[in-house]
Amino acid sequence: MKTRKIVITGGPGTGKSSIIKELISRNHTCFEEVSRQVTLDARKDGIDQLFLTKPLLFSELLLKARTQQFIDAEKIDKDIVFLDRGLPDVLAYMDYINSDYPQDFTKACEDHTYQTVFILAPWQDIFISDSERYENFDQAVEIHHSLLDIYKRFGYELIDVPFGSIKHRADFILDVLNL
């Protein structure tokens, strides 16, 4: 049985991590977002915002971690695994800041494909900045457009998750997947 890898993506503050936590509470296998840990690890080394000061290094670390999540997901004996963001997110953020990236970033996205991608639109009512999230709401909207562009570039048909409670949004995702 091949594990279907399902990405839940969207700009910052759209509710991805809350939905992942809800799916975990319902006993679904999920991989949580890795960028917060990369940011916190950099802070231990004295770099407050690694993405802002060394975007390529930050992105390389994310690409490596998300590739490992993809590989780990394939080893799980489950029909479906949910991932909080996918490999194309790395490229979307690099595009957002207008930064070049090596060809191996693109190759990683081509070599590791997901079966389904859900996207959450920016939602002002739930958007909150915190110590790991440097973006404001307008920037979150711009990042959303970068995500749309990059996932479409790799041939994904994105499924929009409607606004609503965390439970309602998780139900929507599970209904689309017939779970």
Please list the pLDDT of the chain residue by residue as tens digits (179 residues): 689 999 999 999 899 999 999 999 999 999 999 887 777 777 777 666 766 678 888 899 899 999 999 999 999 999 999 999 999 999 999 999 999 999 999 999 999 999 999 999 999 888 877 655 667 889 999 999 999 999 999 999 999 999 999 999 999 999 999 98
Report d(CA 65, CA 35) in Å as an integer. Answer: 9
What does the block give as tokens for 105? 């970033």
How many C-alpha atoms does 21 have within 13 Å on its Cβ side? 5
Ordered DSSP codes for 53-72: H-HHHHHHHHHHHHHHHHHH
Residue 1 has a pLDDT of: 61
pTM of the model: 0.91
Residue 53 has a pLDDT of: 74
Strands 80-84 and 30-31, how do they pair?
parallel
Residue 133 has a pLDDT of: 61
Residue 128 has a pLDDT of: 79
Amino acid sitting at position 174: L
Domain spans of the chain, in order of start: 4-176
* Three-class DSSP category at 167: helix
Residue 130 has a pLDDT of: 65
Residue 14 has a pLDDT of: 93
Domain 4-176, CATH number (from 3.40.50.300, 3.30.930.10, 1.20.120.1150, 3.90.850.10): 3.40.50.300
Residue 42 has a pLDDT of: 73
* Three-class DSSP category at 25: helix
